[in-house]
Amino acid sequence: MNTSSTPCVSLVGAGPGDPELLTLRALNRLQAADVVLCDDLVDRRVLAMLRSDARVLHVGKRGGCVSTSQAFIHQLMLREAREGKRVVRLKGGDPFVFGRGGEECQALREAGIEVEVVPGITSGIAAPAAVGIPVTDRRHAPGVAFITGHNRADAQSGAGPDWAALARSGLTLVIYMGLARCEALVAELRAAGMDGDMPAAAIAAAHTPQQRQLLCTLDGLAQGLRDEQISSPAILVIGEVVREAHGWAELTQELQQRTALVG
């Protein structure tokens, strides 16, 4: 990396947590880096793979917390790259999936800096996989939609996702940043005709020692999240593919038995 005289930044995906889920290229870039600008969601075990003399700048921006402005992050990357440093911009999961990677690439390229993108395993695939959910299992769904639960329809950034269209699509819904607005988005899916018995799952801190998961139905999702104290970062999965999750068969059996006892 950066053997030419043109300054260069590597935008690297760190995957969901466990460093074994880094790509070999990501590992190479990490071990060559002089400076690493790092997001909050990057696992500490991944940072342990850096050279001991590498400088780590934490520029995270978790929802609601004090955050480093995007403009400041761009300035930092430019400065370090122009000084000839090997700069890695490290992001959780994949840098182009809800990671502002596109904006950062644009800012760097406009400033004459070369950008290399190293894809990572996004949590929208890795978190479901951690509990055995195959997101595009053809027996259940024709495809998958990656959606942010964060956008509000009234947000300045424009319209939120079209939940009614998504409910009708038959796609597996994989929702990032969906905990805070879970109740509202479930209501929108129900209003669009999605069955309250549709299987649903939440997987928090996937591929870390803190991993937690919840299997339930669409109608039970909001309460289940509260009961199980599922906290961010978490992925929500809504769709028939959740039936393939480890433990789903046992769960439905238990529910049937309970209903039989009550009934």
Binding site residues, ligand SAH, CB under 6 A: 16-17, 41, 91-94, 97-99, 122-123, 127, 176-177, 203-208, 232-235
Residues 157, 160: Cα–Cα separation, whole Å = 8
Give me the least distance between CB of 127 and ligand SAH, in Å please. Answer: 4
CB of 132 to ligand SAH, least distance (A): 15
- Cα angle at 67 between 66 and 73, to 5 degrees? 160
How many Cβ atoms from other residues are within 10 Å of residue 100's Cβ?
17
Q: How far is the CB of 170 from ligand SAH (least distance, A)?
A: 23
Residue number with the smallest Cβ distance to ligand SAH: 93
Contact 199, 262 (CB under 8 A): no
Report the alpha-carbon angle 41-125-14, nearest 5: 35
Closer to ligand SAH by CB, 204 or 214: give it: 204
Q: How is residue 99 written in tokens? A: 């990671």
Closest of 255, 208, 254 to residue 234, by C-alpha: 208
Shortest reach from residue 41's CB to ligand SAH, in Å: 5
Closer CB to ligand SAH, 181 or 207, in the complex: 207
Give least dist CB 157 to ligand SAH, A. Answer: 14
> Which of the residues are catalytic?
39, 61, 177
Instruction: Closer to ligand SAH by CB, 7 or 179: give it.
Output: 179
Pick the closer one to ligand SAH by CB: 85 or 174.
174
* Extended beta strands in 21-159, E state: 35-38, 55-58, 87-91, 114-118, 144-148
Nearer to ligand SAH (CB atom), residue 169 or residue 232:
232
Amino acid identity, position 104:
E
H or E element: which one contains 105? helix 101-110
In the block, which residue shows the tokens 């990501």? 26
